[in-house]
Structure 1
Amino acid sequence: MNLVEAVRLVAARELKVKLRDKTFLFSTLFFLVLALGSMVLPAMFAGGPSSVAVVQASPYEPALRAAGLEVKVAADPEKVVRDGDADAAVVDRGGKPEVLAMKSAPGDIVRALSVAPDVRLLDPDAVDEVAAFLIPFVFAMVFFFTSLTFGLQIAQSVTEEKQTRMVEILVAAVPVRALLIGKVLAGGALALAQVALIAAVSVAGAQFTDGGDALLPLLGPAMSWFIPFFVLGFVMLASLWAAVGALVNRQEDIGGAGMPVQLAVMLPFFLVIFLQDNPLVMRILSYVPLSAPTAMPVRLFDGSAAGWEPFVSLVVLAAATAGALLAGARLYEGSLLRTNGRTSWAAAWRDRELRSV
């Protein structure tokens, strides 16, 4: 059996096991519901347009209807408001509109009657402040939790095979390196599928929100670049997580052995979140392999990255991923069949016993 066939066999096995895992299925469903709810629920609980009462042939009725308000024609608009049948009323007082309301006038009614001044935007392409904060946060959260969750699952899978001595049977059937590559590819495929589902549900849910249609075109380029950055970044970290799983013999030891990898995931996450408004720091982070999967899409979203920058950053990330794969494979091979306690990173790196397997 050659390496490609062995990798395909291992990846297929990992996919079948994971797709039957109720925890994985439940977590995927949970994230989908959460993504849809975060988009749809605010719009649902925001309520409909305000209702406003006017007299017959009111000069203000066309403007109120054009604003999408619910207009009720009544002989006594004030009575309609007092009876609770309308949020407010608009009457004429000396040729000027007057809003009648019980406690406070709904803002949409006041805006409908206001004369908006001419506005000239000096920076028409500027991103809304709320979106400018949330989008980097979402990119960082997706990469952080996905790489951490699926990475830990890969490590746990490797350790479980060591505990049950299943790994000895697998090594006898396929090359050791095929086990590593197959697990990483299967985990990457599942992670990317989960992210794609969440993105699709979020885009669909955005159709129910105000401003969603305007925001999606701005997100398009960043989301399209996020995919290759996400894939390479995930493979880079997943290969190290597989090595972590091979270093230990018990599930309880994964946290301690994987602390360097956890720090490598957490540090870029917090840097992007807290320093997203610092152009120099974000430019540097977009070329650092551990932070590039989130920093570069963020810069593409806010328009601060030149057209050539994502290509250069992607090449740097690809080189780092190749190096991580080689390092992860060496650590994985040097510790997979060790069953006499936890193996140190240095000992796994030096061990060449399984190089010929």
Structure 2
Amino acid sequence: MAEADGELAAWRVLRLVAGREVRTRVRSRAFQITTALFVVAIAASVLVTSSVGGSSPRRVAVTAADGTQAAAIVTAARSLDVDVAVRTYADAAAGRQAVLDGDVDALVLVAPPTAGGAVGTDGAAGTDGGAGTDGGAGTGGGYRVVVDSELGDSLTSVLTVAARQAALEGQISALGGDPATVGRAVATAGVAVTALRPRPERDGARLVLGLLAGGLIYVSLLIFGPVVAQSVIEEKTSRVVELLLAVLRPWQLMAGKVLGIGVVALGQLALIGAVGIGLGLATGGLDIPAGVAVGSVALALLWYLVGFAMYALMFAAAGALVSRQEDAGGVTAPMIAMILIPYVLGISVLPSSPDSGLILTLAIVPLFAPILMPMVIGIGSVAVWQVLVALALSLAWIAVLVWLAGRVYGNAVKRSGTRVALRDALRAA
């Protein structure tokens, strides 16, 4: 019973220390401003991406007399992966006015077969007012295209393909054939490709989501990791730690500090993720299923907890080694480097090689996993067993760090003055 009461008291103390850290950080003006800026930045980036990302279709006009060409133009556009919308007007005069008013980008008029008229080269689309290029023997007919100033390369290609198809159908009809039958035969012809080493298709939206998840974790660790070290140094410099350790055990103070700052950091990251995912799904800027997006964010937050626990313990131990804020950079530099390296590798390699064996291997290494694993999970290039192995190794490393960091913290936090060597801090006091 006494042992149970002791454990209950220990957790109560831990909760009090963590609560103190949470209140201190949340009330900080710097934290409030930083959080607001992060939320505004992620919201603005999502809104800008969604508004710019979806390009409007090119608008083409045809007359009622040439209305049968609308399907040919749309089919040609689809084959060239160009977004084209076709509008039908009563006559050429209405179509020309629509071009002048900016309602459409071009008016397409079917040119009759000629012995050499103003049609595009090889019977392709030519422009009117500027006239089309004289293509010599234009016996197949073609398109005359009316534009305000210029047609543009993509629309030129679409109308050229459609014009040639129309000319081909005209020739087939003149020879007594059925253009529809020939068209179906041409449409069903293709190339069957057999890949000996097929590459899985990658969704660009998932790639962006994975890189953003890793990037946010990277930034948050860089912000809140050193905060743990700075907090330890502040208490050590002001001798507050001596008063606290008079009633607390060193591991309770260290664990409570890590837990409290971790809760604040996790709350900030969750808010940013919720705003980003919510706006992305609402505006259509994130073109992936909602379940996939939410699941990726949830896993990213889980890995952030793992990563923060891992690095915060090391930052707390490092902060206990020095007594001045000026010396903090020297002891925290190795941890910052270990945060920086996986992020740089991830954003450098994954966009061009999502299945990189190097990244997948490093994503299992505990110190690299918190940043790289959310990236490859978001992309979808990692197996479940790899995630489980990485998680197990990371938790095992955290358990080791609890003992190591607790020993260093307990032996060094009471020593003021000169910097304590890590070797001396690991020895029993």
Secondary structure of 2:304's counterpart equals helix
Q: 20, 40, 44: which is aligned to 2:51?
A: 44
Helix, strand or coil at the partner of 1:258: helix
In structure 2, what is the Cα distance between the partners aligned to 1:98 and 1:335? 85
Offset of residue 317 of structure 1: 0.7
Which position in structure 1 is the counterpart of 2:106?
88
Separation in 2, partners of 1:61, 1:208: 33
More divergent stretch after superposition (192-201 vs 133-142): 133-142
* Count of residues in Structure 1 that have an aligned counterpart in Structure 2: 350
Q: Look up the match of 2:396.
A: 319
Cα displacement string for residues 45-69 of structure 1 (whole angstroms, at most 9, x for unaligned residues) = 46644454443573456887x9784
For residues 116-136 of structure 1, the C-alpha deviation after alignment (integer angstroms, 9 at most, x for no partner) is: 9679897695114x5575345
Change (3 A) 1:48 1:131: closer
Mark the structure with the bigger radius of gyration: 2
Per the alignment, residue 212 of structure 1 pairs with 286
Is 1:272 equivalent to 2:361 in the alignment?
no
Match of 1:340 among 417, 421, 427: 417
Q: CA deviation at 1:320?
A: 0.5
Q: Residue 17 of structure 2 is aligned with which of 10, 23, 28? A: 10
* In structure 2, C-alpha distance between the alignment counterparts of 1:60 and 1:204, rounded to whole Å: 42
1:143 aligns with 217
Alpha-carbon RMSD across the aligned residues, in angstroms, is 3.4
Tell me the TM-score normalized by structure 1.
Answer: 0.83
Partner of 1:252: 326
Match of 2:40 in 1: 33
The answer on 1:263 being equivalent to 2:337 is yes
- Closer, same or farther: CA 124–244 of 1 in aligned 2, 3 Å: closer
Map 1:92-131 to 2 at 5 A: 92-94=110-112, 99-101=145-147, 102-105=149-152, 107=154, 126-128=201-203, 130-131=204-205
- Render the CA deviation track for 1:212-268: whole Å, top value 9, x for unaligned: 233655555544433322211210101111122222222221111111211222222
Stretch of structure 1 that moved more, 280-289 or 94-103: 94-103
Partner of 2:108: helix, strand, or coil? strand
CA contact (8 A) 2:59 2:84 kept: no
Specify the code of the residue in structure 1 equivalent to 2:275.
V
Q: How does 1:144-223 map to 2 (within 5 A)?
A: 144-207=218-281, 212-214=286-288, 218-219=292-293, 221-223=295-297
Aligned match of 1:291: 368
C-alpha spacing 1:92/1:246, structure 2 compared with 1 (3 Å): same
2:135 alignment counterpart: none
Match of 2:311 in 1: 237
State whether residues 338 and 368 of structure 2, in contact with CA within 8 Å, keep that contact through their aligned partners in structure 1.
no
Instruction: Give unpaired runs (5+ residues) of structure 2.
Output: 1-5, 113-140, 166-185
Q: Which moved more, 1:222-231 or 1:88-97?
A: 88-97
CA contact (8 A) 1:240 1:325 kept: no
Matches within 5 A, 1:345-356: 345-352=422-429
C-alpha distance after superposition, 1:268-323 (max 9, x if no partner): 22233334336321232122001112333333344443332212221111001111
Residues 255 and 124 (structure 1 numbering): CA distance in 2 closer, same or farther, change over 3 Å?
closer
Moved more, 100-109 or 283-292: 100-109
Inter-partner Cα distance in structure 1 for 2:409 and 2:109: 79
- Pick aligned residue for 2:407 from 326, 330, 347: 330
Equivalent pairs: percent with the same residue? 29
- Give the secondary-structure state (helix, strand or coil) at the position aligned to 2:110: strand
Instruction: Sort the Cα spacing of 1:127 and 1:7 in 2 relative to 1 into closer, same or farther, 3 A.
Output: same
1:55 matched residue in structure 2: 63
How much does 1:3 deviate? 1.6
CA distance in 2, matches of 1:339, 1:243: 14
Per the alignment, do residues 109 and 209 of structure 1 end up closer, same or farther by CA in structure 2, a change over 3 Å counting?
Answer: farther
